Structure 1
Amino acid sequence: MGDLKLHMSFFLSPMLLFLFISSKTHLCSAVIADTISAGQSLTANQTIVSKNGNFELGFFTPGKSLKHYVGIWFKKAFVGNRTVVWVANRDHPIIDQYSSELKLLQNGSLVILNKSKIPIWSTNSTSRVSKSSELVLGDDGNLVLRDGSNSSVVIWQSFDHPTDTWFPGAKLKYDNITKKAQKLVSWKNSEDPSPGLFSLELKPDSGYVLMWNGSQEYWTSGVWDGQGFSLVPEMRPRFLFNFTFESNENESYFTYDTTNKNLLSRLVIDISGQIKQLLWLEQTKMWNLFFSKPLKRCDVYAYCGPFGRCNSAQDSSCQCLQGFKERSLEDWNLGDPSGGCVRKTSLQCGNRDRFFQMPGMKSPVNSVSFAVDSVAKCKSSCLSNCSCNAYAYSSTGCSLWFDHLLNIQQLDSGGDELYIRVAPSEVSSSKKKSTHWPVIVGAIAGALALFSLVLILIWTWRKWRPVETSKKVEGSLTAFTYRDLQIATKNFSERLGSGAFGSVFKGVLSNSTLIAVKKLEGITQGEKQFRAEVSTIGTIQHVNLVRLRGFCSEGNKRLLVYDHMENRSLNSHLFREHEESKAVLDWKTRYNIAIGTARGLAYLHEECRDCIIHCDIKPENILLDADLCPKVADFGLAKLIGREFSRVLTTMRGTRGYLAPEWISGVAITAKADVYSYGMMLFEIISGRRNLEQTENGKIDFFPTQAAKEVARGGDVRAILDSQLEGNADTKELTSAFRAACWCIQEDEIHRPTMGQVVQILEGFLEARPPPMPRSLQLFAEGEGNIRFFSESSIDITSFPHSSTISSSTSSQSKASTGT
C-alpha cells in the first residue's frame, strides 16, 4: 500500500506542477489571457487572447499546408477559417509544431524554438530590456513586448514589423533619416504566408505605391492634400474613419482609425496584388469589402505571370496563351498565378515555327519597336530571331517581344492584334492534305445524310410543337424555359448592361414584345424557394416599378424577364453616357422623374404587404419608358440574393457613393437606407453630374458638399443646377428638391424622412425647412475656410416623423472654422 502511495505521488507531481504553471501563466487553451512573462512559453495547444477577445495569438497551419507558423488572427471575426493578420516566422516555417514553442526568454528576447531548441525567429531585443519584461496582446491587434515594471516602455511591437495587414492605429512609415520604408508584403498564396511578389510602401514624393517584385510601380495613392490621398476618393467623406498624415525630419507616416471603436477593420495587401480595406459586419458575420485598389486585378502588374493572359471580361481571370500551360497548377489553384505559364512544346527556331493570332489584346510591356512597311516584314523579323516570342504590326510600325511576355490583357473591346510564336504542332494547318480519299468521301457522304435527317427532325418538331413552351404561373407571371430565352435573346448576343447581380440582354418574344432578360449571379436558393420568392415579387404592380413578366429557373440557371425600356436608364441621360442620349433632360422632366421614383419607393416601403427594401438605389437602376416615365428596376433582388447581398453590393463599381453609413457600421438595415441612396441620387438629378468627380489636377470634387456650402452661404439655389439647363428651373421646386436631398442624407436614419414624406415634399404638401449639414459633408469641407451651417441641435427631431413641416426649432447657427 505504501509503495502504491509512493508511485501515485510520483505520477501526480508532474500533473500538479503542470496545472500550477498553467494557472499562473494563463496559457491553457480554455483560459482567456493576454499576457505572458519572462521565462514562460506558448506551445502548440495554447493561445493567448486579447483582453476583450478581439485577437488571438498562437500556432496555426494555413489551409492544407504541412507547415506551421506563429501568428495573430481575429478571434471575434471567425467564420470557419482564421483571418490571420500577422505572422512571426513567415520565412521560417515549423515542421513539427508540437515540439516547438514561443518563449519569452529571461534576457527579454521573444523567440520561436524548434524541436532542437534552436531559435528560428527572434525579436532581437535583448540589449535594451530588463528581466521584468512581459508580452501583451492588445485589442488593437498589436503584440507588445514591454517593461513589466513600467508598461509605458515599449521594447518591441508587431506594429513596427507588419506582414500583409495594416491595422487601425498602426503606422506605415518612411524613415527620413535612413531613407527606408516600412512595407506590407503579400502572402505567396493562400496556404503560404512567405513574402509574395506584391508590396505597399510610402514614397515621400508619390504617396503610397504598390510594387511588383520590389521594383515595378503599378499603382499610387497620389499625394496627401490635407484631406486625403488624391487618388483614393473612398477616404471622403469621413463618417467611418479618422485619418492622420504626419511628416517631420525623422519620419513620414499615415495612420487611420475607426470612428466606432467597436468596429473591426483591416487593410490587407492581397495575394492578387490589390490592397483591400475590409470591415467586419457583425450583422452578417462577413468581411465586407469597403474598397480595393487597383479596382481590377488585370491592372496589377504581371498578375497572370509570364505568358499568362488576364481576361478583363471574365472577372480578371487568368489563362495561359495558346501553346502554353501553367508552370505550377498547384499555385494557380491556391490563387497565385504569378508564376505564369511555360511552353508545352519547345520552339524549333527558324521558319518552321508558327504564329497564333490573338485579336483584342492590350499588348505586353517592354517591346522593341521599329519602322517597317508591311506585316510580312514584321513577321519575318520575329522569325529570324530565336528569342522573339511575339510580334504586332500597326500603322506606327512593328513591335517585337523577347523573353517573357508580361501584362497581356484580353480587352472587352478594341485592342491590338498580337501574334504569339508557337511550335508547329500547336497550330492546326489547313494546308495538310490526306491521301485517304475513299475515307474522306465516305465521311462526307455520311455527314450529309446525318445532316439531312437532323433537318427533317427539326422541321417535324417545329411543326408539331406547341407555339409557347413557357407557362403561366401566379396570374400574369410566366415561367420561361431557358431555351425560350436563348431564342428570344439570340443566345444572349445583345447586352444592355451589367451590374453586381448579373448582365441584362435585349430580347423579343414570339408576339414581338420587347423584353430585357437579366441573368442572375450569386443566387443560392433552391429552385422551389426561388420560384416562390419571384412569384411574390411578380404580384407587385405600380406605374413607377418595372414590370416583371416572368422568370426562368432550371438547374443552376436563374433569370428574370422584364419589360424593355426604350429610353434606357437615368444615368445615360444625366451623364450623357450613350450617343443616343443627345437631348438634355429639362427641369420639369427631371422633377417628374424625382417624384415618380419617390412614389415607387414609397409603394415598396409602405404599401406592400411586406416592406421591400431596394438596397441599391442609383441612376443606373431607374429606367425610363418611351414617355420618360421613371420605373424603379431591380426591386426585390436584395430579397433574392439574401445574406450575400451586402458583400456583392459594396464590391460593385459606382455604388459606394450611394451607400448609407449603416451599411458599414453593422446595424440593422431599414428602409431609411433607401432614403439615403435616393438623396444622393437626387443631388445628381439636380446637378447633372456624378457626386464624386476627379478634376484634371487629380483632386476629388464632392458635389453635395459644394451644394450645401453654396446655399448655406446665402447663394442662389440655381448655382447648383445643371449648367446645361441655363437656369431654366422653377425656384420653388429646385429649393424643395435640394432640401429634400439634404434631409435624406443625414447620417442618423432617425433624422431622415420616409419616402412617403419625400413625395409630399416634392408635391408641395409638406414644407421642408433648411436642413442641417450632415456631419460627413461638414468634415469633408474642413480646411476650406469658415462655413456656416445649421447644427443638429437646432432641429426638432421628435416632431419630424409626424409633423406637417420639417423645420428648425430655433434660428441658432454654428460656425465651422478649421484649417488644413
Structure 2
Amino acid sequence: MLMAPSYGRLTPPPLMLEEQSFWTLIYDGPDISSIYWPNPDFNPFGNGRTNYNSSRTAVFDEMGHFISSDLLQFSAPDTGLLRIKRRLTMDHDGNLRLYSLNNETGLWVISWQALSQLCNVHGICGINSICVNTPDPKCSCPPGYEITEPGNWNKGCKPMFNSTLSQSQQVKFVLLPHVDYWGFDLNYSDSTTFNSCMKLCLGDYRCKAFSYRLDGRAICYTKGVLFNGYQSPSFPGNIYLRLPVSFETSQLCILNGTDLICQSAESETTIGSPSMYNFNTKRTRWVYFYSFASAIGLVEILFVVSGWWFLFRKRGSPNLAEDGYHLVLSPFRRFTYTELKKATNNFKEELGRGGSGAVYKGILTDERVVAVKRLENMNQGEDVFWAEVSTIGKMNHMNLVRMWGFCSEGKHRLLVYEYMEYQSLDKHLFSPTFLEWKDRFKAAIGIAKGLAYLHHECLEWVIHCDVKPGNILLDSEFEPKIADFGLAKLSQRGGNSSDFSQIRGTKGYMAPEWATNLPITAKVDVYSYGVVVLEIVKGIPLSNWVIEGREEDDESDLTRFVRVVKRKIQCGETSWIEEVVDPRLNGQFNRSQATTIVELGMSCVEEDRNKRPTMDSAVQALLECLDES
C-alpha cells in the first residue's frame, strides 16, 4: 500500500464477506465502524445484491470477469483479451479497483472502481470535517470549527466554542449547502416542514446540526455526531449547523496540500431559540456556495502557479541547491557507496553483527551520526531493491528505528539508519547496569506499539520475524525502537518459503510454526514479543533453546518458567509476582503492571497461535495500567 494523499493517511479498510453475506467495504476506525460500499442508504436488494448467500464465493477469471454469489458482477473494458494482465486491488485510499496492464507503456490503468467519488469513503476526513471532491478529496472545517491538528486531517476539526449548548441558550443555524453527515441520527421525520425540523434540533441539547432534504418528500434528520461529512452538488439537501448566536462565522477554511487557506464567507444565518427564529435561505445558499467554489478555484490557481515557480527555480539552480532542496523535502535518499565508505572511515567501527550483515558507525557530511548496515546475500536487482527500501523508508513511527536512506551499486547493498547511542535492550537488561522498572515498562509498551504499527497500520503489512532484545534499540530517553523491521521483506523477495524460514528468526524467540512449516503470519512476532516481555520482567534470558541436565531434557527455560507461573496462579499463591520479578529491583516495581506484562507474555507464547492476542490488543492491555502507581 502506498502513501495516502493530502487528506491524511487512512488505515486500509477491510473488504469483507463474513458477517453480512455480501461483499462490503468497511471503515473500522478508532471512533466508528461503518459500511460505505455498497451504498449504506440502501439494503442489499436496493444495491442489486443478495444476502441469501450460503456459498460466499467469488471468481475473477482470466478473461476479466468478476462474479460473486451475492450477485456482484463487473467486467474490465478489455474483457475477452487473454494476454492482458489484470489485478484487483484494495487501495490505500479505501477504494477497490480493477487494473489492466498496458503492454505498450508498462503502466497499470484503472478499468473499474467501486466508488467513483472518494468522498464517499468513510474516514477520509476526521470528525466534524467536510470532504469535497475537487476532483481529488479535500478536507475542510465548517464555520465555527478549526482543524484539530494542522496537517493531520485524521483528527478532524474541533469546535471553537463550548460544544454543549443548553436549551435556554440562544443559537443560530449556518447553512452548509449540499452537505451531509452520514449516520448518527438522533431523530428522523418525513413529510415535515423546515421549521418543524429546526424545532426538533432546538429541543434536543445533543443536536449538533440537522439535515433537511427535498427529494420527492421533505425529510428531516437531527445529528448527534458529525462524522463522514461530504459536499456534493448532486446531494438534494443541506446541513444546518448549530452554533451559539454570539459566535462569529466569517471564515470558511479549505485545504491546500497541508496548508489551511481561509477565505471570507459572508453568509446570513438562521437565528433560532425556543422562542424565536427566522430564515432567509436563498441568499445564504448562493453566497456560501459561490464563496466555497471561489476558494477552491483560488487554491487550484495557487497550486499551479507554485508548481511553475518551483519548476523554473529548479532549472535555474545549481546542482548543490537542487540536492539540498530534495533533502529538505525528503530525508530518505540514495547514497553512493563512496559516500558511505567515507562516512564509516572504510567501515572501521563495527557496532554489531547479525544474520543479515554487520552494522558500522558513520558520520555523514551534514554531521548526522548514522548506523550503516552492509547486507549480505542480497541478490535483488537494483530496481527491485529500490522499490522495497523506498516503501520501508516511508514507514514512520516513534518506536521504529528511522531509515535515512540506502545504497545499491553493483553488488553493494547498504541501509542507513539513525544512530541509537544507548545501543540494544539486551546490553542493559542482561548486564550489571540493569534497567529500572519504569524503563522496563516503557520498553514493553513501546515495542508493542511498534509491532502494532507494522502489523495493522503501516503502508505495507510487515512481519518482523526476528523480534528479540538485540533488535530493540534505546534512544537517549530509553524509548525503545525496533530495528531491522524491513529485512524480512527484503529477504523474502525472490526466495521460497523454506529459504525465508531459514533466514529469519533466532532460536528461543521463534514461534513453533517455524518448525512445523505452517504459514507464517503476524502471530510469529506476537510469540517473540511474549518471550521478550517475560525477559524484561525476569531480567534474565529465557530464550535458551534446551536446558541440559534436567529430567525433562527437551524443556527450555521459557517452557519451565510458564509452567511454574501457571501452577502458582492455579494454586492461588498471592505472592507469585514477587517471586517472578527481577530480584535486582529490590521490590521497586509496579505490581499491577508486572502482573499484566507476565499474563500478557504467557498468552503471547501459547503454542496454538490462534490463542495468542494481536499486537493491537496487547497495546490496549498495557495502556490500561499505564497510569497506575
TM class, shorter-chain normalised? 0.3 to 0.5
Structure richer in strand, relative to its length? 1
Scaled by the length of structure 2, the TM-score of the pair is 0.44
